[in-house]
Every structure is written in C-alpha cells, then in structure tokens.
C-alpha cells in the first residue's frame, strides 16, 4: 500500500492509516506530509465553534447532508479538548454522525488534544493537510470554544461560524468579545426554543454596537437564526457561507491570500520551535558536560536563561547537527 498515492486517490483506509501514522510518528512521517503538500490548497475550510450544548454536532450533521446534496465531498475534523475530567464527548458525536457512516463522500475524524508534539493546532493542521490533499471539497473543523487553543484551531478555517443558543448563561453575555471577533457568521442555534427572538435582538444590538464602535471591517459578520433539529434557517445559513466564500475568493482574494500567508508563517514558526527543542534534547542527551550545567542550575550557581542561551549557541558550533 502506497500511503501517499492511495491518499491522493481518496482511499479511506489509506487516509486513516496515514493520519494514524502522523499522530504516532510525527517526525518520521514528515516526508509523507512533504509529498502531499503540492496537492493541498483546494479544499474550503469551514470552522465551527461554540460553548458546550450549543448543538455544534447536530449542525455539522446538517451541513454535511446539505453539502452532499450539492454533490460536494466533506471531511469533518471534530476536536475534543479532552478534559481530564469530562473528556470523551466527541466519541458520542462520532456515534451520532453515523448517519454518514456508509457515505463514501464523507470522512469523519475525531481528534483529541494531546500533550505531545507541539500541541493542538499543529496536530489539526496536519490532519487538515491530509484531508485537503485527499481531495475533499469541504473540510469542517468543529471545536468546543473553551480556550485559546480551540480558538486558534478554528482560525485555520477560511470561514468561521460561531454558535450560540438562547438562554445560555445570561443570554448574550455568553459570547465574549474575543470569540465575536473571529466570527464571519454568527449562528443562533435552537431557534425553535423560547427566548430565541429576544436572543436574536440582543445579538443584533451587540453587532450594531460593535460596528459603530469598531474600525470599518471589509466583511461584516452575518447573523443567522437556525434550528439544527428542525432544519429551519439552514438554507439561509448555507447561502451566507457561500456568500462569504465568494467574498474571499472573488471580491477580496487579497484578504484570503493574507490569511493564508499568516497561517503559513505560524506553521513555520511552530516547526522551527519543535525542531529547536528536538535538537536541544539531542544535545543534552549526547553530551554529558551539559548534565553538569543542569546541576549547576539546580544548585542556583547558574540561571536557566543563561543555560538555554548556551545550548542554542552550542548548536551553532556542533558539526553533528544538520
């Protein structure tokens, strides 16, 4: 099985194996990612975030069905922040998504936060690259917006949906400024619930206020009321998503380009970070004299900042490092 060739051909088994390989051996699988890279950049990435209970999975389910009806292939990356206390919600989502289990145009991947190799965003980035190269037309990245990490993940997308629901902890208060800023489309889900109209008015007022206060933005976030349960408002949401895509690809390709360049720079800095750490670990392992320096720091005869600087400069002189 040629993992790269078969992934490019869209073979699900190859994709799954490749993803597992990257997760297990991030460094050894680097050549695979290099080989896939020229084939990326075609998928349209849609990010979805919102608090627990906002109905993200149900909405993703609806969107997948709609995209399939349009003849588009879809991949879903469900990011689980793996709370050590409450982790595992995404496994449930996966079960719920079994609607699409037999559809050869839908690939679903759950991703847990790992403490390993560079954090959540690099991990999701790798997965998205594989799915992009595999030829999916749309990639949905779904994450609970509980921390900076999750927000960063969603920013990988070209279009970002922020979900909220009526009656969620003081209504509008539940959406903080930080998360508002990243929304291209603000979605009020569970619009069939009591209090939906009031929540909608509050959101509108807040958006008006933001608009009047803020700098003139090239794209004003849209506000859409939906019910993932009944399907109400779904068509309007799809229109808004398409409108934002057209805006980026046709009207303001410069913004899309700037976004891509920003992501690329972040990716490169993350790669440099990890490579620098890897080289330093190797230096520490290979050269016993560093052991003494570590002990000196523990004994407070040297400070860790100076030692870190020494280690970086040593690397410059080490003929063994590439």
269 forms part of the interface with a copy of itself (CB under 8 A): yes
Three-state DSSP class for 211? Answer: helix
Binds a copy of itself (CB under 8 A): choice among 175, 186, 228, 234: 175
Rounded to whole angstroms, the Cα distance separating 115 from 192 reads 40
Q: By CB under 8 A, is residue 277 in contact with a copy of itself?
A: yes
The single residue among 25, 198, 201, 281 that binds a copy of itself, judged by CB under 8 A, is 281
Among 152, 192, 202, 282, indicate the residue that binds a copy of itself (CB under 8 A).
152
3-state class percentages of the chain: helix first, strand second, coil last, to nearest 5: 55, 15, 30
Tell me the C-alpha distance between 52 and 143, whole Å.
9
CB of 133 to a copy of itself, least distance (A): 11
Residue 132, token pair as written in the block: 């992009």
Whole-number Cα distances in Å, 224 to 60, 155, 199: 15, 20, 12
Q: Which residue lies nearer to a copy of itself by CB, 92 or 304?
A: 304
Interface with a copy of itself, residue 71, by CB under 8 A: no
Q: Shortest Cβ distance from residue 265 to a copy of itself (Å)?
A: 7
d(CA 13, CA 6): 9
DSSP secondary structure string, 57-125?
A: HHHHHHHHHHHHHTT--EEEEEEE---TTT--HHHHHHHHGGGGTT-TTEEEEEEE--SSTT-HHHHHH
Rounded least distance, CB 143 to a copy of itself, Å: 11
Interface characters, 188-227, with a copy of itself (x: CB under 8 A): ----------------------------------------
Residue 303 touching a copy of itself (CB under 8 A):
yes
Contact call for residue 288 and a copy of itself (CB under 8 A): no
User: Residue 89 or residue 243: which is nearer to a copy of itself going by CB?
Assistant: 89
205 burial level (CB within 10 Å; 0-12, 13-18, 19+): exposed
Binding residue (CB under 8 A) for a copy of itself from 5, 92, 147, 254: 147
Instruction: Determine, following the binding rule CB under 8 A, whether residue 85 of this chain makes contact with a copy of itself.
Output: yes
Edge-to-edge, what's the strand order for the sheet holding 222-225?
A: 106-112, 74-80, 138-144, 44-50, 159-164, 185-188, 222-225
For a copy of itself, the binding residue among 216, 250, 289, 305 (CB under 8 A) is 305
Residue of 230, 273, 286, 320 that binds a copy of itself (CB under 8 A) = 273
At 64, phi and psi to the nearest 5? -60, -50
Pick the binder of a copy of itself from 13, 34, 211, 217 (CB under 8 A): 34
Identity of the residue, 211 or 273, whose beta carbon is nearer to a copy of itself in the bound complex: 273
**d(C-alpha 107, C-alpha 16), whole Å:** 9
Both tokens of 84, joined, read: 């050590």
Question: Judged by CB under 8 A, does residue 95 bind a copy of itself?
Answer: no
Residues that bind a copy of itself (CB under 8 A): 30, 33-34, 37-41, 50-51, 81-87, 113-115, 145-149, 151-152, 169, 174-176, 178-179, 257, 260-261, 264-265, 267-269, 271-277, 280-281, 284, 294, 297-298, 300-301, 303-309, 311-313, 315-316, 322
């Amino acid at each position: 099985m040629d993992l790269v060739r078969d992934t490019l051909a869209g073979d699900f088994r190859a994709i799954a194996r490749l993803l597992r390989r990257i997760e297990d051996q991030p460094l050894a699988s680097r050549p695979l990612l290099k080989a896939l890279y020229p084939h990326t950049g075609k998928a349209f990435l849609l990010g979805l975030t919102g608090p627990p209970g906002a109905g993200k999975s149900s909405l993703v389910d609806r969107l997948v069905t709609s995209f399939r009806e349009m003849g588009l292939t879809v991949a879903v990356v469900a990011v689980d922040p793996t709370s050590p206390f409450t982790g595992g919600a995404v496994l449930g989502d996966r079960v719920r998504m079994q609607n699409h289990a037999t559809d050869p145009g839908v690939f679903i991947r759950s991703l847990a936060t790992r403490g390993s190799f560079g954090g959540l965003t690099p991990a999701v980035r790798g997965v998205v690259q594989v799915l992009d190269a595999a030829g999916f037309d749309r990639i949905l990245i779904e994450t609970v917006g509980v921390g900076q990490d999750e927000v960063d993940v969603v920013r990988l997308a070209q279009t970002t949906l922020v979900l909220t629901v009526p009656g969620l902890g003081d209504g509008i208060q539940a959406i903080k400024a930080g998360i508002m800023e990243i929304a291209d489309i603000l979605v009020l889900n569970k619009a069939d619930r009591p209090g939906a109209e009031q929540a909608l008015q509050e959101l509108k007022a807040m958006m008006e206020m933001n608009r009047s206060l803020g700098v003139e933005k090239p794209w004003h976030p849209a506000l859409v009321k939906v019910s993932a349960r009944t399907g109400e408002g779904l068509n309007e949401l799809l229109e808004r998503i398409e409108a934002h895509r057209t805006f980026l690809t046709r009207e303001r390709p410069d913004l899309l380009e700037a976004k891509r360049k920003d992501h690329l720079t972040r990716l490169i800095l993350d790669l440099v970070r990890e490579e620098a750490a890897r080289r330093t670990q190797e230096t520490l392992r290979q050269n016993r004299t560093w052991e003494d320096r570590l002990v000196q720091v523990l004994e407070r005869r040297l400070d860790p900042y100076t030692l870190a600087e020494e280690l970086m400069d040593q690397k410059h002189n080490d003929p063994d490092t590439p």
